[in-house]
Structure 1
Amino acid sequence: MLVGPAADFSTCKNLRNADLRGAQLQSANLQGVDLAGARLDGADLKFATMIEADLRSASLVGASLFKADLSFSDISGARLWRADLREASMTATVAHSADFSEADLRSVKMFSMHRAANVSFDGADWSGSSMTDNRFVNASFRGTNFENVAMEDVRMTNSYFEGNNFKGLVLVDSRLQHCSLRGAQLNGASLRDLRAQNADLTGATLRDTFLQMAQLDNVKASGCDFSGADLHWAVLERADLTNARFVNSIITEANFAHSACDGTDFYKATGSSLADFFNISGTPINLETGLFVPP
């Protein structure tokens, strides 16, 4: 079998544990090929067809997969450190415990990835990407770049975020329950119909963020800055909002019932009279005493 650009492996589908490090496989046909455990570090797989390929536990460190098609493949346990996956197609790709650390995922096409738990995206660049209907549960996003990323119906429950760039992020109908977002900079992000119950937003900044109808029950948001955010119809019941800021925020019909609000600043918040402050604890700042029962 000739290994080279545009190689056709349709008649040689068993490449399990093969050593293909540095191989020139641009535009190769690897559809349905068994590459489990294969070593493809530094391989050139630009434009390669890898639909339904078995890449479980394969090593693709530093590989070039620009515009490769990995749809319906299984990359569980694969190592894709520093791989180039720009504009790669990954529809319904299985990726349990795959490692994309420092990978270039700009404009990657990730759709319907329902089996992708425990994935690491630490240091990866997702900027400019659009993705829909993915399940990245228990994932690690330390230092992941989300600039101008658009996501819809993406579940990232119980995931860890740290040191991220969220500039221009658009998140629609997505889930961040039980996530760690301590100190996150989400200023100006659009988080529509967000479900982030029990998330940790301690010290995070969400200035001018769109959070209409967000479900933020039981969040830890001590010291969080929601200044200028649109929280119309948002639910923040039983949340820790100690020393949080809602300066110039829209809180019309928002629900703060049973939340800890000691030192919480509502200066010039719009819609305070229509928000629910039933049974809050502590003493908020710049909130009319007629809207809550002082301790």
Structure 2
Amino acid sequence: MRIRLAVVAVALALSGPAAAQSLMSGIDLTSPAMTEADMTRAEVEARLAAQPGAAVFDQARLNGLDLSGLDFSGASLRGARLNGTDLSGARLDGAVLDQAWALKARLDGASLKGASLFQTQMQDASLRNADLTGARAPANFSRADLTGARFTNADLGADLKNQSMGLMRADLTSAKAEGADFTGANLLRAVLEFADLKGARFDRANLTTASLAGANLTGASVAGAVFTDTDVASARLVDLVGLDETRLDAASNLSRAITR
């Protein structure tokens, strides 16, 4: 089982969001690897205390545990299983969660400043008011609750200089992100299709070639945002704050967007 899941994790790393989504159908989400824990909260706390700022939980099964309020700053959780885990109020500043599984995990109010979420699977997770300032997060946030989350100066975009592992970018398809803050964020080629982005802040954000198809940006702040070739087909672009019409004119399918 461990070998099979490791192969799947590598496959996800070699693919973009769409391929990662399709691979979900080939994974047994009811298996022990995806639903059970091989550590207790007490054991997690002991490791954190023994290795402050450098604890290692790579590939650990932490599914369903209550780890709320713990300090994982600087910890490594590469490929860890965190499905259904409660990390609300936890500190994960500078933590590495690359290729971790956090389906339906709860990270409300958690701090992930400068964290690395490279192809982290966070579908249906809750990150209400979480702080991902400066994080590197080309992760799968589809259907996640990102209400009030902070992605200030975060990097959710594709790295066009290094595609040896395929095109990887953030996927926020159908995410709830009302009032989220993407000020200064890199969203190059990110997928935000059908996302609820009402009142969100995109000031100075880079949305070049991102997809906002079907997204709701009513009342969003977009001062200085870059919309070069951004797909806005069927997107609701009503009452935008700080809008520079000349920048929005660079978007794709603007004639098909809802603007009033």
Change in CA separation of 1:151 and 1:77 when aligned onto 2, cut-off 3 Å? closer
Counterpart among 198, 207, 211 of residue 255 in structure 1: 211
Letter in 2 for 1:132: R
Change in CA separation of 1:77 and 1:109 when aligned onto 2, cut-off 3 Å? closer
CA distance in 1 between partners of 2:194 and 2:216 (Å)? 7
* Gap runs ≥5 in structure 1: 1-73, 89-103
Is the radius of gyration larger for structure 1 or structure 2?
1
CA distance in 2 between partners of 1:205 and 1:75 (Å)? 30
Q: Structure 2 matches for 1:198-237, cutoff 5 A? A: 198-212=143-157, 213-237=169-193
CA distance in 2 between partners of 1:79 and 1:164 (Å)? 17
Letter in 1 for 2:140: R
Write out per-residue CA displacement over residues 201-254 of structure 1, whole angstroms, 9 at most, x where no aligned residue. 111111100001200000111111111000000000001111111110000000
| Alpha-carbon shift at residue 107 of structure 1 (Å) | 1.9
- Greater percentage in helix: 2
| Alpha-carbon shift at residue 282 of structure 1 (Å) | 4.8
CA distance in 2 between partners of 1:293 and 1:203 (Å)? 24
- Structure 1 vs Structure 2 CA RMSD: 2.3
* Gap runs ≥5 in structure 2: 1-35, 158-168
Between the two proteins, the alignment pairs up a number of residues equal to 204
Letter in 2 for 1:243: G
CA distance in 2 between partners of 1:87 and 1:281 (Å)? 48
Q: 1:224–1:241: 8 Å Cα contact kept in structure 2?
A: yes
Matched, 1:182 2:182: no
Matched, 1:117 2:43: no
Name the TM-score, length of structure 1 as normaliser: 0.64
| Larger RCO (CA within 8 A; separation ≥ 6) | 2
Equivalent pairs: percent with the same residue?
A: 28
Matched, 1:173 2:119: yes
Change in CA separation of 1:184 and 1:78 when aligned onto 2, cut-off 3 Å? closer
CA distance in 2 between partners of 1:79 and 1:181 (Å)? 21
Change in CA separation of 1:122 and 1:81 when aligned onto 2, cut-off 3 Å? farther
- DSSP-derived class of the 2:228 partner: helix
